Amino acid sequence: MVSVEPSTRRSITFRMTMAVCAFVILFQSVLATLALLYFKSEFKRNISAQQMTLLSVASQDIDQKLRSAQKALIALSREFTPQNVSDPKAAQWILDHNPDTASIFDNALFLFSKEGRIIVESPYIANRRGRDISFRDYYKQTIKSGKPVISPPFFSTHTPGTPSVMFTVPIRDKAGHLIAILGAGLNLLQNNFLGDMSRIRIAKTGYLYLISHDRTMIMHPDKTRIMKIAAKPGENTLLDKAINGFEGTGENTDSKGRHALTSFKHLQATDWILGANYPLNEAYEPIQRGEKYFALAVVFCTAVIIFVVRFIMNQYTHTLVRFADHVRHITHKQGSARLFQHDSKDEIGILVQTFNAMVEHEDRKSEELLHTSTHDSLTGLYNRSYFDAEMERLSRGRQTPISVVIADIDLLKECNDTIGHAAGDVLIRETAATLLESFRAEDVVARIGGDEFGVLLPGVDAELVKQTLDRLRKALLKSTPPVENFPLSVSLGCATAHTAEDLIDAFEQADQRMYHEKRRKKVLAYGN
């Protein structure tokens, strides 16, 4: 029994332990760092996407409710005619007896004259009829656009000092002339559908808010901020971008100086902007915990790696045993399994490399012998023995239909007799190349005789094989004659076996059809 010197074992063990530990620890550290960076990046991306999704859903909800409120007001406007517009008592009755519309708008319903004066309002307040509201932006916008308007926020006079928004709808007579304007107010301090949004929370401390295009705060959890400027130009760069059309998420600083993840989404029903603030210290808290866990994991894994690698290297000499066992069973292995997997630069590594090189050399020789035994040397196609073996294999299988094509080169004997066998070989090779290009990669194209070729087409029915032969004939007609006065010409026959047992019969039938075509060509040639 061959023994290994202890000093040598210690040398190999020491060197491999140091090398492997250094590599693994370095790799682990780099991998952990990259994983942490990726985790942070993906977490930020995901939380930004989730916040933007929440904001999109909320904005769609607000848009839907704004449009529903506007539609309700439009429906109410259709009850007004020139007659009841000119009759305050009738107009007041209409406003007072529409509880569905009144339930949506909690800051009164109004009917304004086209000159901008209050005709009636509900609930009724004495001494307000005839009051001029033509200075209001919502009146000016309605007159200018001639369409329904949702106003910027303003302080109401119906409930003095109350921040409100006004919905307006122009009322026209049958001729299309403006006769009045129907208005409805929303109190921004009440629990209506806008106020409900202010109670939505993102996690624990995140919140939503709504601002108009002129930076006025419409909705905010802190009611004292409503009707105030959200931020002056230049104070909040992300808000500045949102005012100019930006939609998305970014890190920002909120009104209290807290760093926050901020998202903005423009409403479709009006020019308001819905925002979301999520304080970073809460949003990124999982990242901070993750960094601690990663650091602890790296320290723990480093200690484990040192212990495990040391133990493994102490068992290093077992490699020789494994190698001997591999060699002993080499005859039962195939392919890459015949190679011994070991990577080192010591004596064992050299031995393994030499052994693997020898195995690969033998495998290449075996492959070359196998190729020679199954391929025709002149054309590179499969030979008759491989073709017969495939016929036998397919006849025992279940893959049907199977089509067979037999091809025979025309005028090959005449070419050999008049020009020589070298020219005949050219004709054979060119025919083989054309056949190979005309069939699928999975088809078996073989030279089965001197001037005869056979093709097996698994899974191809009679119709498809006829189409293939039509393409082949066209390719032969278009080809340039490889030998002067001897164009590529092939007699073809095909047949299809619908069961594996019929494959031999199909081969014979294809062969007969090929000879029939060859005889027909000769008859035509003699006739000409």
Q: Which is it for strands 178-187 and 402-409: parallel, antiparallel or unpaired?
A: unpaired
361 in the same domain as 389: no
Ranked by mean pLDDT, which of 111-115, 155-159, 479-483, 519-523 comes out on top?
111-115
151 in the same domain as 178: yes
Q: Which domain holds residue 138?
A: 78-187
Whole-angstrom distance, CA of residue 29 vs CA of residue 400: 57
Who contacts 210 (Cβ-Cβ below 8 Å, separation ≥6)?
62, 194, 197, 217, 218, 219, 220, 272, 273, 274, 275
Q: How many residues does the chain have?
A: 528
Angstrom CA distances, 4 to 16, 322, 326, 327, stand at 17, 16, 20, 20
Is residue 205 assigned to a domain?
no
Is residue 266 assigned to a domain?
no
State how many domains the chain has: 3
318-328 vs 347-374: helix axis angle to the nearest 10? 20
410 in the same domain as 308: no
Torsion 423-424-426-430 (CA) sign = positive
324 in the same domain as 451: no
Whole-angstrom distance, CA of residue 220 vs CA of residue 231: 14
Who contacts 359 (Cβ-Cβ below 8 Å, separation ≥6)?
330, 338, 339
453 in the same domain as 342: no
The answer to whether residue 68 scores a pLDDT higher than 70 is: yes
398 in the same domain as 358: no
414 in the same domain as 306: no
What is the pLDDT, as a whole number, of residue 6?
44
Residue entry with tokens 């088809």: 443
| Token pair in block for residue 14 | 């020491």
Mean pLDDT of the residues in the chain: 86
Whole-angstrom distance, CA of residue 469 vs CA of residue 466: 5
| Token pair in block for residue 27 | 């790799």
The answer to whether residue 501 scores a pLDDT higher than 60 is: yes
CATH number of the domain at 90, please.
Answer: 3.30.450.20
Q: Which is it for strands 452-458 and 402-409: parallel, antiparallel or unpaired?
A: antiparallel
491 in the same domain as 408: yes
What is the pLDDT, as a whole number, of residue 255?
64
The amino acid present at 149, given as its one-letter code, is: V
What is the pLDDT, as a whole number, of residue 321?
62
Is residue 358 assigned to a domain?
yes
pLDDT digits (tens, 9 = 90+) for 450-471: 899 999 999 999 999 999 999 9
356 in the same domain as 422: no
Angstrom CA distances, 528 to 375, 410, 488, 515, stand at 39, 17, 19, 20
Is residue 398 assigned to a domain?
yes
521 in the same domain as 409: yes
pLDDT digits (tens, 9 = 90+) for 173-214: 999 999 999 999 998 888 888 877 878 888 888 889 999 988
Higher-confidence residue of 333 and 459: namely 459
The amino acid present at 145, given as its one-letter code, is: S
Q: What is the DSSP letter of 79?
A: T
Is residue 328 assigned to a domain?
yes
The answer to whether residue 28 scores a pLDDT higher than 80 is: no
Whole-angstrom distance, CA of residue 366 vs CA of residue 370: 6
Domain boundary among 370, 393, 410: 370
Name the strand (E) or helix (H) holding 518: helix 503-527
Domain boundary among 168, 187, 206: 187
pLDDT band at 332 (very low <50, low <70, confident <90, very high): confident
Strands (E), 118-247: 118-122, 149-150, 154-156, 162-172, 178-187, 201-202, 206-211, 217-219
Could you tell me which residues are beta bridge partners of residue 172?
178
| Token pair in block for residue 463 | 């119709």
| Distance between start and end Cα atoms, the chain | 88
For residue 117, give the nearest of 184, 185, 181 by alpha carbon.
Answer: 181
404 in the same domain as 353: no
pLDDT band at 42 (very low <50, low <70, confident <90, very high): confident
| Token pair in block for residue 43 | 């977490």
Domain boundary among 187, 214, 236: 187
| Token pair in block for residue 306 | 């040192």
CATH number of the domain at 480, please.
Answer: 3.30.70.270
Is residue 261 assigned to a domain?
no
Is residue 119 assigned to a domain?
yes
For residue 206, give the nearest of 55, 56, 49, 41 by alpha carbon.
Answer: 55
pLDDT digits (tens, 9 = 90+) for 148-163: 999 999 998 888 888 9
Residue entry with tokens 């806008």: 194
For residue 342, give the nearest of 355, 333, 328, 352 by alpha carbon.
Answer: 352
Phi, psi of 122 (to 5 degrees): -135, 125
3-state percent helix, strand, coil for the chain, nearest multiple of 5: 55, 20, 30
pLDDT band at 3 (very low <50, low <70, confident <90, very high): very low
Whole-angstrom distance, CA of residue 137 vs CA of residue 169: 14
Whole-angstrom distance, CA of residue 58 vs CA of residue 71: 20
395 in the same domain as 344: no
pLDDT digits (tens, 9 = 90+) for 259-280: 888 999 999 988 899 998 888 8
Whole-angstrom distance, CA of residue 473 vs CA of residue 477: 6
Whole-angstrom distance, CA of residue 446 vs CA of residue 428: 12
Is residue 321 assigned to a domain?
yes
Q: DSSP labels for 272-325? A: -EEEEEEEHHHHTHHHHHHHHHHHHHHHHHHHHHHHHHHHHHHTTTHHHHHHHH
Torsion 199-205-206-207 (CA) sign = positive
Q: What is the DSSP letter of 29?
A: H
CB atoms within 10 A of CB 230: 23
